[in-house]
Amino acid sequence: MVVNVSGEVLRLLPQKAVYWQKESMLLLADLHLGKVNHFRKSGIPVPRRAGDKNIELLMDAIQATKPTRVICLGDLFHSHYNPDWEVFGEVVKHFHNISFELVMGNHDIMSDLQYSRKGITVYTELQLGPFLLTHHPVDLPVENYYNLAGHLHPGVSLRGKGKQSLTLPCFYFGKQQGLLPAFGMFTGLARISPKPEDQVYIIAEEKVLEV
């Protein structure tokens, strides 16, 4: 799915990421790597394989777009250090010609040394072209910039004729602010109520669909 946001052409991927071809840049948010490990340590019976799926989807998105930069809009890792961080480090090492960058989120609590030794560039916010990239959505309006953010894990509810309801992750683009879906699994969804003029695209069965 290709969309025009603030004069820029963006490609929405079913892996729940955005490819900005003009800048050869892959944008995503809220991977929460290590969350499955965190659940399992807390006694919640989440399949170990679920954690591997996040890495597989990340690699799929990179291989499909071949970016020169991968930027995460916060919450790259879920909490404190655990072995999933080393797995992610191997991904960074494998794609050594790609710049991996992080706009810090509330879950990104590891020391600066950990990011440095993996070669990850860190920002509090980042201005690129017409976009202000942040983790938390900023208070609007933002003069001269369109805000792209994560954090909220947006979802939209669809209702069928039999009154059944299904909430699916979505990309949301309002007049001055866009929200990326959470890339990681087991992150939950926050239902949004879009205005008629907003653009909303759901991810369903490995497809991106406009609603």
Q: Parallel, antiparallel, or unpaired for β 165-173 and 154-159?
A: antiparallel
**Long-range Cβ contacts of 17-25 (<8 Å, 24+ apart):** 17/61, 17/180, 17/183, 18/148, 18/171, 18/180, 19/61, 19/65, 19/67, 21/65, 23/69, 23/128, 23/129, 24/66, 24/67, 24/68, 24/69, 25/67, 25/68, 25/69, 25/70, 25/71, 25/128
Element (H, E) at 156: strand 154-159
Residue 49 is predicted with a pLDDT of 54
Token pair for 6: 């603030």
CATH code: domain of residue 79: 3.60.21
Residue 101 is predicted with a pLDDT of 96
Structural domain that includes position 67: 2-210
Residue 81 is predicted with a pLDDT of 66
Contact between residue 102 and residue 115 where contact means Cβ atoms under 8 Å apart = yes
- Its pTM stands at 0.87
Neighbours of 22 (CB within 10 A): 10
Task: Name residues of the chain where pLDDT drops below 70.
Answer: 35-51, 78-81, 160-164, 186-187
Chain centre distance of CA 23:
17
Contacts for 21 with CB less than 8 Å, ≥ 6 apart: 9, 11, 65
Residue 37 is predicted with a pLDDT of 52
Q: Report how far residue 54's alpha carbon sits from residue 159's, in angstroms, rounded to the nearest whole number.
A: 29
Token pair for 61: 């998105």
The phi-psi region of residue 86 (left if phi > 0; otherwise alpha if psi is between -120 and 50; otherwise beta) is alpha
Q: What is the pLDDT of residues 22-79, one digit of tens each?
A: 999 999 999 888 755 544 444 444 555 555 788 899 999 999 999 999 999 988 885 6
Number of structural domains (the chain) is 1
Contact between residue 170 and residue 153 where contact means Cβ atoms under 8 Å apart = no
Contacts for 94 with CB less than 8 Å, ≥ 6 apart: none
Q: Report how far residue 169's alpha carbon sits from residue 188's, in angstroms, rounded to the nearest whole number.
A: 9
